[in-house]
């Protein structure tokens, strides 16, 4: 039977998000040349929360898009599937050409999702630069040499464990939090 333990409370998660938002403001200023791209599925709520915080902190509303990289994954055909893969919609209504792109995800583990996202975003133009923001960096088990520019928190995990970010009101979660799921 899987066990779960909360590793980040709702209050601490709010602090992590606010700290990340401040780091983005320090580096990108008014966001006139910067866009935020939340990676579907887990990065989308993180991107929406940060987008709101950035608007509150700067008065500006950075451009926000959602990117699905499902079909760009190099392990796409190797993953066991029970039917067709569940891809999410990509919503990008602006060009990425010469923009500073901040890719946003909830958890960085092997790096394969980020590598796939880099391939997928080139469909929308060639950015001037790409940065990666993650709430949780699992640190162990990187398959690819990918590192986050902004990290909310680093967590050491076993291969048999999973990290889940939960948001109040979604999938039955009573409050925001980050959980370590083990066996």
pLDDT (tens digit per residue) in 106-117? 999 999 999 999
**Residue 6: strand pairing partners:** 179
Q: What is the mean pLDDT of residues 7-19?
A: 98
Per-residue buried b or exposed e for 19-37, using 16+ beta carbons within 10 Å of the residue's own CB: ebbeebbeebeebeebbbb
pLDDT at 84 over 90: no
- Higher-pLDDT residue of 93 and 82 is 93
The span from the CA of 59 to the CA of 41, in Å, is 27
pLDDT at 81 over 70: no
Ordered DSSP codes for 22-66: HHHHHHHTT-TTEEEEEETTTHHHHHHHHHHHHHHHHS---EEEE
Q: What is the mean pLDDT of residues 59-88?
A: 75
- Residue 181's pLDDT band, with cuts at 50, 70 and 90, is very high
CB atoms within 10 A of CB 89: 8
The span from the CA of 71 to the CA of 86, in Å, is 10
- pLDDT given at position 141: 78
- pLDDT given at position 82: 53
Q: What is the pLDDT of residues 41-68, one digit of tens each?
A: 899 999 999 999 999 999 988 999 999 9
Q: What is the mean pLDDT of residues 87-103?
A: 92
pLDDT at 75 over 70: no
Q: What is the mean pLDDT of residues 99-106?
A: 98
For residue 133, count CB atoms less than 10 angstroms from its CB and return exposed for 0-12, middle for 13-18, buried for 19 or more.
buried
- pLDDT given at position 87: 74
């Amino acid at each position: 039977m899987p066990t779960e333990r909360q590793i980040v409370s709702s209050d601490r998660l709010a602090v992590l998000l606010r700290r990340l938002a401040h780091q983005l403001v320090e580096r990108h200023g008014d966001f006139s040349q910067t866009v935020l791209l939340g990676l579907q599925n887990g990065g989308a709520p993180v991107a929406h929360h940060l987008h709101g915080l950035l608007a509150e902190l700067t008065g500006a509303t950075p451009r926000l898009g959602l990117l699905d990289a499902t079909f760009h994954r190099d392990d796409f055909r190797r993953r066991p599937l029970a039917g067709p893969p569940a891809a999410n919609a990509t919503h990008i209504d602006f060009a990425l050409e010469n923009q500073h792109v901040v890719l946003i995800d909830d958890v960085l583990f092997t790096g394969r999702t980020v590598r796939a996202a880099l391939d997928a975003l080139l469909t929308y133009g060639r950015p001037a630069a790409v940065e990666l923001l993650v709430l949780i960096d699992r640190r162990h088990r990187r398959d690819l040499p990918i590192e986050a520019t902004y990290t909310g928190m680093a967590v050491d995990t076993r291969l048999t464990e999973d990290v889940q970010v939960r948001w109040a009101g979604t999938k039955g979660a009573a409050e925001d939090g980050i959980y370590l799921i083990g066996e």
